[in-house]
Structure 1
């Protein structure tokens, strides 16, 4: 009797396909790094996982979100990014997934601009591979794309200043560079910078707040997180900033409102101490604005 080994991908049942996609290239450490990036920083569940009364429905993780996003050129919902071959991304190549994540280009053309691919452009090659490995390790969920899905026209990416291309691993040893990296992946400035024609005005309003959100909590305006001592967070202590980021609590102890409260408790609370320290250090470099 021959010794047993891993199943051959030349004659593999569909049930084992995910194993063959992952096992040659992804180890447990790479998958866990991808999990951290997805859960603590990029918050992919926010758009791609349905919600229940208690929060994300993780039994249907990555099968597509229920929230509708719309603007003058699109009406879409978060797509199925589970490794299901027919309705998800199980049949996509790594190159196709990379293009979708960092360039906003899907199999059928340009994705809607609500997919924040410009925020993911600084992903290092290792981190981008780790995200793909983690997505491939998820449970395949058969869930056809929900209507509506309409896109028209073109759009221009608006990456954060200094974060328009992939970072190299060595550069992340610098604390401020690492903070910029974390801020881009977590999309801090895309929320905390006022928009012009649907795009953040980083040149004039970086971190100054002003973007308006309309949700179940009502109308919420993103706050000023520049280093201005009165209008911004220049007088806040590091601990106060960290509490706001990870617990959704303002300086005066009042709870922050969605979407920040949701993101902080569900995602940013998982941020590593080093990444949190770097993010706070970088936020303090934002020039004061009123």
Structure 2
């Protein structure tokens, strides 16, 4: 595992400079060198901050099931719904093998399937709308590279109607913030990692994130681990992470260990975050320091 992490960090750092040249989904064929860099970036994103496998790879008692990477999950009961993560492998019958790159990009950023139907919660479409064209192309290149797995997964079911859309389509020509601005780039990483999708409580009046309490925690996540409640990750010193050192924040993100030595359990994809480059981890922490303090104690 250590070797894998070092390799992912290396390709993530080495390939980053070339991504301004990476073709967006649906563009003309790139050179072999461009494609290799794109695939390296996709592997890094998928196995670190974006962590699609946290939902889309079926899990057993000891972790991800062998030979089933991104092959889709079983029933996951939640409030008002039973969600199922789709098969993202290139299988043409049960996965995404018959989808075009443009269709994949639309599904990722706009939450719309090729047949026009809407992808429902918990797909974090609002955050993926901000993903840079080059990073969308990199994820698609990675999805094309994995082994196809024939595994039919039913669509999620909801006790409430889905909206007509998740808002206007993602803007064309999106780029990531410059890495020389760690706060801005860290915020971008938090978006494509949809950190606040789990760590922001919902409005009391409607099942949508409460923009007044971003990062305040409190959402409950049932699973094999029991019921885990998302932590307050705002700058509040008493109920959030404002009193933690940078290294303590990093240890929680990448090792699942709190400052008091207790361990995180549940859906937090610590094994993925452990693959982040030191520079990306620094940027993420720099951005977290800017999240306004909200006093909300979470058990």
Q: TM-score, normalised by structure 2?
A: 0.79
Equivalent pair of 2:56/2:86 in contact (CA under 8 Å): yes
TM-aligned CA deviation for residue 174 of structure 1: 1.4
TM-aligned CA deviation for residue 173 of structure 1: 3.2
TM-aligned CA deviation for residue 171 of structure 1: 3.4
| Candidates 52, 59, 71, aligned match of 1:51 | 59
1:282 aligns to what?
287
2:143 aligns to what?
135
The 2-side partners of 1:27 and 1:140 are apart by 20
| Candidates 64, 68, 75, aligned match of 1:60 | 68
Gaps of 5+ in 1: 1-20, 159-163
Deviations 1:236-286 (A, max 9, x none): 1100000000000001111112122xx11x211111111110010000001
Deviations 1:186-242 (A, max 9, x none): 22112211112322212x111111112222333322221111121211111100000
1:190 aligns to what?
197
- 2:220 aligned with 1:212: yes
- 2:162 aligned with 1:154: yes
Deviations 1:157-205 (A, max 9, x none): 49xxxxx867424534311111101111122112211112322212x11
Gaps of 5+ in 2: 1-25
Deviations 1:39-65 (A, max 9, x none): 101111122111233311241212211
- 2:111 aligned with 1:104: yes
The 2-side partners of 1:81 and 1:69 are apart by 21
The 2-side partners of 1:107 and 1:69 are apart by 26
- 2:251 aligned with 1:248: no
2:7 aligns to what?
none
Relative CO higher for 1 or 2, CA cutoff 8 Å, sep ≥ 6? 2
Number of residue pairs matched by the alignment:
259
| Candidates 112, 116, 141, aligned match of 2:124 | 116
The 2-side partners of 1:81 and 1:251 are apart by 36
TM-aligned CA deviation for residue 97 of structure 1: 0.2
SS at match of 1:213: strand
Q: TM-score, normalised by structure 1?
A: 0.82
The 2-side partners of 1:174 and 1:217 are apart by 38
Q: Alpha carbon RMSD of aligned pairs, Å?
A: 2.4
2:92 aligns to what?
85
Cα–Cα, structure 1 residues 63 and 226, in superposed 2: closer, same or farther, change >3 Å?
A: same
Cα–Cα, structure 1 residues 187 and 51, in superposed 2: closer, same or farther, change >3 Å?
A: same
